[in-house]
Amino acid sequence: MAIDKKKLFYRLKFYGLGFGLGCVAVWATLYNGKTERSSWLPEGRVLEFLERTDVKISHQLKCELKCANIPENFLDSTFWENAAVDFDLSATKRKPCPEHYIKSKLKDGREVSVFIENCETCFECEGEGVASLRSFDNITEKENSCDCK
């Protein structure tokens, strides 16, 4: 059985063209030079949604933040750039509002972890999500005497 070199070259040409177009498509969607976090993985999607959403903080947590010398607006760009979601400690299956455990660093370098309840009704809709800060932990400074109730 002889191999026809013309047909083989013809097939390789089409294979190479398809492979090249596939590489360009992958580069355009994933590696297009953006410095921002990619949101095609679950962690990126959660962090992107929470960064866009106005996170509500209860009065008790505002008092605890004040005691820990953490500003109320600590959920800024520095926090979200360093944020990582720990899905093992998160309650992602809880309905209707899953809770996510997020660890990050503040502007001054202190590490904090927060539980944020994410009531996402429509991911693509503007203004449809509601998130609230459920608790926080100042990992760097464990000692904290505060009488907030």
The verdict on residue 22 lying in a domain is no
Q: What is the DSSP letter of 76?
A: S
Residue 100: exposed, middle, or buried by beta-carbon count in 10 A (0-12, 13-18, 19+)? buried
Specify the number of domains making up the chain.
1
Residue 95: per-residue pLDDT = 80
pLDDT of residue 48: 84
Q: What confidence category does residue 122 fall into, taking pLDDT thresholds of 50, 70 and 90? A: low
User: Which CA distances in Å does 22 have to 10, 14, 16, 26, 27?
Assistant: 19, 12, 10, 6, 9
103 located within any domain: yes
For residue 15, the model assigns a pLDDT of 94
* Residue 124 confidence (pLDDT) above 70: no
Q: In this predicted structure, what is the pLDDT of residue 91?
A: 86
For tokens 């030079």, what's the residue? 33
Of 43, 40, 39, 136, nearest in space to 92 by CA: 43
> Does some domain include residue 111?
yes
Give this prediction's pTM.
Answer: 0.68
Does residue 52 belong to any structural domain of this protein?
yes
Residue 14 lies in a domain: no
Query: What is the mean predicted confidence (pLDDT) over 17-45?
Result: 77
Residue 58 maps to a domain? yes
Q: pLDDT tens digits for 41-65? A: 788 888 888 888 888 888 888 888 8
> For all residues of the chain together, what is the average pLDDT?
80
**pLDDT of amino acid 19:** 96
34 pLDDT exceeds 60? no
Segments forming the whole domain that contains residue 83: 42-138
**Residue 132 forms part of a structural domain:** yes
Please check the confidence at residue 134 and state whether its pLDDT lies above 70: yes
8 A C-beta contact, residue 106 and residue 68: no
Q: Which helix (H) or strand (E) segment is 43 a member of?
A: helix 42-52
Domain contains 20: no
